[in-house]
């Protein structure tokens, strides 16, 4: 099975900072990569699919890039409401594994 | 508006069984694949099971294979997860999620139902 890793596992940044989270697949998955946001105590929410397509309603400060095995999620200007854990997920084939998550908080 | 409402969670003893349901509304249920995803307390998301729109194709993670069965009743707009031989490590919030029409990622999520496995 393809394994998904994320780095860092957690980060602390200031409001307005640019934040980048990396997701890596152990084998190529083309662009079959989604990103989810889970705020504390809340349900996961889809942010990005097809590696770089922003889900409707998601603020434009979120962006995704990558293809193959290496992907990034970028928050261009961190806001207080972005405090959350972010997960990547491969969905090219089963098992549609999630990454372990990256916890983002405000410094 | 898409709504997914899970039910059926609760306290069960190790080795016991439970059936989760997910009532769907706001979309044509029979046109979409569906997922179950779980999250143990304080842990990350774990992909559990998936089923195609007509129920003809299913997937179960190795961790639940042979113990859990995903199914759906398109006439009732309901997704199910039959869970058996429950273990302490199955304790989690179980979310049902709707797959997107353009791929097997989870476009919409329910609020989740908590399954507690304890004697």
Residue B38 pLDDT = 98
Rg (CA), chain B: 13
- Chain A residues whose CB is inside 8 A of the B110 CB are 43
- Chain B residues whose CB is inside 8 A of the A31 CB are none
Q: Which residue of A has its CA nearest to B111?
A: A43
State how far the alpha carbon of A105 is from the alpha carbons of A5, B42, B50, B64, in Å. 20, 16, 32, 33
Residue B13 pLDDT = 97
Residue A67 pLDDT = 98
Best probe of the B interface among A44, A55, A71, by most B CBs < 10 A, is: A44
Chain A nearest C-alpha distance from B87 (Å): 21
Residue A97 pLDDT = 96
Q: Which residue of A has its CA nearest to B50?
A: A94
Task: Please tell me what DSSP assigns to residue A94.
Answer: S
- Chain A residues whose CB is inside 8 A of the B105 CB are 34, 46, 49, 89, 91, 96
Asked if B45 and A38 come within 8 Å (Cβ–Cβ), the reply is: yes
Residue A23 pLDDT = 98
- Residue B99: pLDDT band (50, 70, 90) is very high
Residue A62 pLDDT = 98
- Residue A95: pLDDT band (50, 70, 90) is very high
Residue B45 pLDDT = 98
Residue A11 pLDDT = 98
Asked if B105 and A101 come within 8 Å (Cβ–Cβ), the reply is: no
Residue B9 pLDDT = 97
Residue B100 pLDDT = 94
**Residue B105 is nearest to which of A91, A100, A101, comparing CB atoms?**
A91
Best probe of the A interface among B45, B50, B62, B99, by most A CBs < 10 A, is: B45
Contact B113, B20 (CB under 8 A): yes
Contact B82, B21 (CB under 8 A): no
Asked if B47 and A96 come within 8 Å (Cβ–Cβ), the reply is: yes
Please provide the DSSP assignment of chain B as one string. --EEEEE--EEE-TT--EEEEEEEESS-GGGS-EEEEEE-TT--EEEEEEE-TTSS-EEE-TTTTTTEEEEEETTTTEEEEEE-S--GGG-EEEEEEEEETTEEEEEEE---EEEEE--
State how far the alpha carbon of A99 is from the alpha carbons of A18, B4, B25, B37, in Å. 21, 24, 29, 13
Contact A12, A107 (CB under 8 A): yes
**Residue B106 is nearest to which of A46, A94, A100, comparing CB atoms?**
A46
3-state secondary structure A27-93: CCCCCCEEEEEECCCCCCEEEEECCCEECCCCCCCEEEEEECCEEEEEECCCCHHHCEEEEEEECCC
Residue A5 pLDDT = 98
Q: Which residues contact residue A59 at a Cβ distance below 8 angstroms, ignoring those fewer than 6 apart?
A: none
Cβ atoms within 10 Å, residue A21? 22
- Summarised one tens digit per residue, pLDDT across range B42-80 is 999 999 999 999 999 999 999 999 999 999 999 999 999
Q: Which residue of A has its CA nearest to B112?
A: A43
């Amino acid at each position: 099975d393809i394994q998904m890793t994320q780095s860092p596992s957690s980060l602390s940044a200031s409001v307005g900072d640019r934040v980048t989270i990396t997701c890596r697949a152990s084998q190529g998955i083309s662009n079959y990569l989604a990103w989810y946001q889970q705020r504390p105590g809340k349900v996961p929410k889809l942010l990005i699919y097809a590696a770089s397509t922003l889900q409707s309603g998601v603020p434009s400060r979120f962006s995704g890039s990558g293809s193959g095995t290496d992907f990034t999620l970028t928050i261009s200007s961190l806001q207080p409401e972005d405090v959350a854990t972010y997960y990547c997920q491969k969905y090219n084939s089963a098992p549609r594994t999630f990454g372990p998550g990256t916890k983002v908080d405000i410094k | 508006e898409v709504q997914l409402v899970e039910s059926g969670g609760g306290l069960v003893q190790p080795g016991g069984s439970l059936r989760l349901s997910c009532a769907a509304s706001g979309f044509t249920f029979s046109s979409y694949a569906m997922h179950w995803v779980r999250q143990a307390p304080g842990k990350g998301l774990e992909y559990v099971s998936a089923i195609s729109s007509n129920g003809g194709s299913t997937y179960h993670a190795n961790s639940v294979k042979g113990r859990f069965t995903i199914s759906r009743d398109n006439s009732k707009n309901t997704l199910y997860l039959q869970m058996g031989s429950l273990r302490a490590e199955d304790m989690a919030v179980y979310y049902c999620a709707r797959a997107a029409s353009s791929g097997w990622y989870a476009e919409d999520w329910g609020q989740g139902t908590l399954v507690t496995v304890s004697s």
